[in-house]
A and B are shown apart, each in its own frame.
Chain A
Amino acid sequence: MQDEILKMRGINKSFPGVRALQNVDFTLFEGEIHALMGENGAGKSTLIKVLTGVYAKEGGEIRLRGLDKPVTIKSPQEAQKLGISTVYQEITLCPNLTVAENMFIGRAEEVIVNWKKRIDKTNAILASLGISAKATQQLSSCSIAVQQMVAIARAVDMECKVLILDEPTSSLDDQEVAKLFSLMRDLKNRGVGIIFVTHFLEQVYEVCDKITVLRNGELIGEYLIKDLPRVALVSKMLGKELGDLSALQNETACDISRQKDIVVEVKGLSGDSGIRPFDFKTCKGEVTGFAGLLGSGRSECVRAIFGADHVTGGEIKIKGKPVHITSPLKAMKNGIGYLSEDRKSDGIIGDLSVRENMILALQVMRGFFKPFSKAQAYAFADEYIKLLGIKTASADTPISSLSGGNQQKVILARWLLTHPDYLILDEPTRGIDIGTKVDIQKLVLKLADEGMSITFISSEIEEMLRTCSRLIVMRDLNIVGELKGEDMTQDRIMHTIAGGATNHGDS
């Protein structure tokens, strides 16, 4: 049996009005990859922040191997000194510095810096970990995956014993994830204990040894991966049996028949984001999907339709009438809504309240001189908070203090308020918990049923299969295929993306 390197017992932490952690235990062994699972708001990030000294715990104890007394960690710096390093979803290094500079920044070990030595050392570490980057390269010139790996390499070089990976794979494609996993396994063999936080169930089963599940700030249990089938895991995270997901799949089939009234028709549209001229149409009540790898042009297509990027050519007809869309406002006035891909930078208005975030789009359409009265705005907000089950203290809470899933629901409410004929959802489920994911998928189908045309884009193909009745497949900024009905299987999509497709749709 390997050694325990970290032992947390009876951890308590509360925020005004919320008990974020209650008596949570967590144990990490040497050379173990340990998944920390739970819905948003389950307490994962709070536990990690307590462990890394961002928050002070209010009860319980933390023990580290080699120290006979419980430790109190007051700051991330102190955590690092104790051998606990964290790599976050967002890169926290400095993109304008070189890889080597990033490796050593903030670690004042010597007074006089020998950069040559440092560069050599950096290269050695990178090579030993199989990371394809050069020490003298500027960090921003590396891909996100490599940047993340550099962050990991930095942690490893600081002789960390506990490595925390907080949603590291959210913005990586499959190949990059594979690389990251091999790095993780390598570290595991060196005896590093890894805490892995993710939303992707597949990845947990691919790489982890153990799973600890939290729910509502409480410990549900710790399981060996082989003892916990996926369905059981999901049901433990949600706290209910999993009938929802399978029920959902059955509903999708009925959507294909509707091909009558065309809502949006796009011909030869191209934009300055580099998207090649493309055709697209969608009917009332239809859920379409754009599938493809990251950067294949799926977002660029819908951004062009919405007028978010500068359009360079082509035409758009809404319900048969040609329209000239040059700005998001014009698109909105023509009944198009667009939930953008990057929730944090393009979606939420951080410091503003849930209410203000919700009414923004409708308010803009209504005009500068016709603000909603407070009562109206509250009525809207309360209605949608209830309708979508948004967990927020009140309509006045700043949206930035909500969890990711709830933020997304607020943005969704923003667009539903405008009652669009055609709603584009670009990665609406990225980085949010599985419960909310299911909620959103259900909502999409319900809205389509009520007659709204929807485009649903997701990196998770299964999710698209479940919700969409027609899939447009993209590769290298071109539409390379269209799949519907029987053809819509994971295999066919993979083949089409990879270029082995026979079905070159009508584009």
Chain B
Amino acid sequence: MATHDKTINHDRSRSIILSIVKHNIFIPCAFLTMLLLVNIFINPGFLKISMGADSNGHPVLIGNLINILSNATELVILAIGMTLVTASSKGQDISVGATLAISGGVVMRVLCGNETQPDSLHAPIIVALILGCLAGMACGAFNGILVSRFKIQPMIATLILFTAGRSIASMAMGGLKPKAVSSFGYYGNFIPGFPIPTPILITIGIVIVTMLTLKLTNLGLYTRAVGVNAKASSLNGLNPTMIKFLTFVVLGFCVGIAGFVQSSRVQTVNPYTIVPGIEMDVILAVALGGNSLGGGKFNMTGSIIGAYTIQTLTSMLMTLNVNTNAVPVFKAAIIVVLVVIQSSVVKAFFNKKMGELKSRKNSGKGNDTYVVVE
């Protein structure tokens, strides 16, 4: 082993590069950078952020990057919860779109009551936010009980709310489609006078809370332990049922926040069309972040970067004005590349190539203590 250490000391610089390349968020980061570069290439003004003013004269930041950061909010928040659920339960929650409709619907109902165009809010916004989150957490708890207590596969358990959720949302709204006053729109757009879109601030807040939670509690360790080996975890005093349940409730909370932001964007919720197909985007974000959908270890930073990658892609295809019918094909083609590059087969291939490169360089230097014979 001593000889090996010496080899590393010999050229530390390369080993730093190697360790960066091998770091588990390198690939997700590289993708995002690549996509951004493509965007800049197509549209040189892509990175430009300018200060404009809205129709009331309040200053606002305008730019593609700002849009991506702002529009990715729901995806990022959901990806955080989905990462935990994936790690603990070895499956995904496909009902997040439908439950987001429910929590958004609850928010609208609380704010608008039974009126379609009320002149004022019926309840303080904080009440709507709390009730929206509680609705999301209740849905999460429902899924969580099915998965953890009744041991139903996550995909099947969450299929129930996936199917029924949007109708439940419609019922929660009393069959109405109200539009709240524009002051409710501060949370999905701008707070007058402050030029950074509020969703970006909310994302930053949630990300900080997540990172602090992972640092200050054992949520991460417990989730991973249960995901990797539930049986062994229970012999170490953990309660796998409880932890799986907990991760679903956490996802439910994320759904609640995302539903609040989403309903604030246009101050109205159409339960049947809100966030179409977001569940797949969220799962994809988790996968792009380098997480195994088979559970176990997880990489939260990766998931967050994955979410931004998908939003960049969506936004890119939108601004490129690709024919609508071709958009899914483009998206699929790019995603195939991203997923394949991250597959273990390709990774192993690159590791091997890298190992060969390393050993060739070493033997070239006459380092006779570590020669791999080929």
Binding site for B on A (CB under 8 A): 12, 14, 16-17, 58-59, 306, 308, 327-329, 332, 338, 340, 345-352, 356, 360-361, 363-365, 367-371, 414
Q: How far is the CB of B89 from chain A (nearest CB, A)?
A: 16
Query: Contact: A348 with B232, CB < 8 Å?
Result: yes
Q: How far is the CB of B368 from chain A (nearest CB, A)?
A: 13
Query: Contact: B236 with A14, CB < 8 Å?
Result: no
Minimum CB distance partner of A377 in chain B:
B221
Interface check B296, CB cutoff 8 A: yes
**Pairs of residues from A and B, 6 with the lowest C-beta to C-beta distance, nearest first:** A59-B373, A329-B237, A364-B237, A17-B4, A349-B228, A349-B229
Query: Contact: A364 with B232, CB < 8 Å?
Result: no
Q: Offer 11 A-B interface pairs, CB within 8 angstroms, sorted by A.
A: A328-B236, A340-B232, A347-B232, A347-B235, A349-B224, A350-B228, A351-B297, A352-B225, A352-B297, A356-B225, A360-B233
Report chain A residues within 8 Å CB of B236: 328, 332, 360-361, 364, 414
Minimum CB distance partner of A12 in chain B:
B373
- Extra pairs beyond A351-B296, A352-B224 (8, CB < 8 Å): A58-B372, A59-B373, A345-B229, A345-B232, A347-B232, A369-B217, A369-B218, A371-B217
Query: Contact: B237 with A371, CB < 8 Å?
Result: no
State which of A12, A350, A361, A369 has its C-beta within 8 Å of the C-beta of B237.
A361
Q: How far is the CB of A372 from chain B (nearest CB, A)?
A: 9
Minimum CB distance partner of A361 in chain B:
B236
Interface check B331, CB cutoff 8 A: no
Report chain A residues within 8 Å CB of B221: 356, 360, 363, 371
Query: Contact: A368 with B232, CB < 8 Å?
Result: no
Known contacts A360-B236, A364-B238; is-contact A352 B228 (Cβ 8 Å): yes
Report chain B residues within 8 Å CB of A361: 236-237
Q: How far is the CB of B1 from chain A (nearest CB, A)?
A: 7
Q: How far is the CB of A493 from chain B (nearest CB, A)?
A: 28
State which of B219, B225, B229, B235 has its C-beta within 8 Å of the C-beta of A338.
B235
Cβ proximity bits B235-256 to A, threshold 8 Å, 1 near / 0 not: 1111100000000000000000
Binding site for A on B (CB under 8 A): 1, 4, 215-219, 221-222, 224-225, 228-229, 231-239, 296-297, 355, 372-374
Q: How far is the CB of B214 from chain A (nearest CB, A)?
A: 9
State which of A58, A306, A327, A349 has its C-beta within 8 Å of the C-beta of B239.
A327
Q: How far is the CB of B159 from chain A (nearest CB, A)?
A: 26
Interface-central residue, B4, B228, B235, by most chain A CB under 10 Å: B235
Q: How far is the CB of A490 from chain B (nearest CB, A)?
A: 31
State which of B1, B218, B228, B234 has its C-beta within 8 Å of the C-beta of A363.
B218
Query: Contact: A346 with B235, CB < 8 Å?
Result: yes
Report chain B residues within 8 Å CB of A371: 215-218, 221
Q: How far is the CB of A9 from chain B (nearest CB, A)?
A: 13
Known contacts A328-B235, A328-B236, A364-B236; is-contact A14 B372 (Cβ 8 Å): yes
Known contacts A352-B224, A361-B236, A369-B216; is-contact A346 B372 (Cβ 8 Å): no
Report chain A residues within 8 Å CB of B229: 345, 348-350
Complex CA gap A352/B87 in Å reads 12
Known contacts A348-B229, A348-B232, A350-B228; is-contact A332 B237 (Cβ 8 Å): yes
Query: Contact: A58 with B373, CB < 8 Å?
Result: yes
Complex CA gap A352/B229 in Å reads 10
State which of B218, B237, B355 has its C-beta within 8 Å of the C-beta of A16.
B355
Query: Contact: B237 with A58, CB < 8 Å?
Result: no
Known contacts A345-B231, A345-B232, A351-B296; is-contact A368 B237 (Cβ 8 Å): no
Q: How far is the CB of A403 from chain B (nearest CB, A)?
A: 15
Q: How far is the CB of B152 from chain A (nearest CB, A)?
A: 21
Complex CA gap A468/B219 in Å reads 40
State which of A17, A308, A345 has its C-beta within 8 Å of the C-beta of B1.
A17
Report chain B residues within 8 Å CB of A329: 237-239
Report chain B residues within 8 Å CB of A340: 232, 235
Q: How far is the CB of A95 from chain B (nearest CB, A)?
A: 18
Minimum CB distance partner of B226 in chain A:
A349
Minimum CB distance partner of B234 in chain A:
A328
Report chain B residues within 8 Å CB of A363: 218, 221
Complex CA gap A161/B61 in Å reads 76
Complex CA gap A183/B309 in Å reads 60
Known contacts A346-B231, A346-B232; is-contact A368 B1 (Cβ 8 Å): no
Complex CA gap A431/B256 in Å reads 50
Complex CA gap A351/B355 in Å reads 23
Report chain A residues within 8 Å CB of B222: 364, 368
Minimum CB distance partner of B371 in chain A:
A14
Complex CA gap A351/B225 in Å reads 9
Complex CA gap A58/B231 in Å reads 39
Complex CA gap A357/B4 in Å reads 26
Q: How far is the CB of B292 from chain A (nearest CB, A)?
A: 9
Report chain B residues within 8 Å CB of A327: 237, 239
Complex CA gap A369/B216 in Å reads 6
Report chain B residues within 8 Å CB of A360: 221, 225, 233, 236
Q: How far is the CB of A22 from chain B (nearest CB, A)?
A: 10
Q: How far is the CB of B291 from chain A (nearest CB, A)?
A: 12
Report chain A residues within 8 Å CB of B234: 308, 328
Minimum CB distance partner of A22 in chain B:
B373
Complex CA gap A59/B374 in Å reads 6
Interface-central residue, A306, A308, A368, by most chain B CB under 10 Å: A368
Complex CA gap A306/B234 in Å reads 11
Report chain A residues within 8 Å CB of B224: 349, 351-352, 356
Complex CA gap A417/B374 in Å reads 45
Report chain B residues within 8 Å CB of A306: 235
Complex CA gap A58/B228 in Å reads 33
Report chain B residues within 8 Å CB of A364: 218, 222, 236-238
Minimum CB distance partner of A16 in chain B:
B355
Minimum CB distance partner of A303 in chain B:
B235
Complex CA gap A352/B224 in Å reads 8
Q: How far is the CB of A358 from chain B (nearest CB, A)?
A: 11
Complex CA gap A349/B237 in Å reads 13
Q: How far is the CB of A345 from chain B (nearest CB, A)?
A: 6
Complex CA gap A183/B204 in Å reads 67
Interface-central residue, B231, B234, B237, B296, by most chain A CB under 10 Å: B237
Complex CA gap A349/B373 in Å reads 35
Q: How far is the CB of B49 from chain A (nearest CB, A)?
A: 37
Complex CA gap A414/B237 in Å reads 12
Complex CA gap A328/B221 in Å reads 18
Interface-central residue, B1, B218, B236, B238, by most chain A CB under 10 Å: B236
Report chain A residues within 8 Å CB of B217: 368-369, 371
Query: Contact: A349 with B225, CB < 8 Å?
Result: yes
Complex CA gap A360/B243 in Å reads 15
Minimum CB distance partner of B292 in chain A:
A351
Query: Contact: A328 with B237, CB < 8 Å?
Result: yes
Report chain A residues within 8 Å CB of B235: 306, 308, 328, 338, 340, 346-347
Interface-central residue, B1, B224, B229, B239, by most chain A CB under 10 Å: B229
Minimum CB distance partner of B227 in chain A:
A351
Complex CA gap A12/B231 in Å reads 39
Query: Contact: B237 with A365, CB < 8 Å?
Result: yes
Complex CA gap A370/B221 in Å reads 12
Report chain A residues within 8 Å CB of B225: 349, 352, 356, 360
Interface-central residue, B215, B224, B228, by most chain A CB under 10 Å: B228
Report chain B residues within 8 Å CB of A349: 224-225, 228-229, 232-233
Q: How far is the CB of A329 from chain B (nearest CB, A)?
A: 4
Report chain A residues within 8 Å CB of B228: 349-352
Minimum CB distance partner of B295 in chain A:
A351
Complex CA gap A346/B236 in Å reads 9
Q: How far is the CB of A422 from chain B (nearest CB, A)?
A: 15
Minimum CB distance partner of B352 in chain A:
A56
State which of A338, A345, A368, A414 has its C-beta within 8 Å of the C-beta of B218.
A368
Q: How far is the CB of A324 from chain B (nearest CB, A)?
A: 16
Minimum CB distance partner of B243 in chain A:
A368
Q: How far is the CB of A166 from chain B (nearest CB, A)?
A: 23
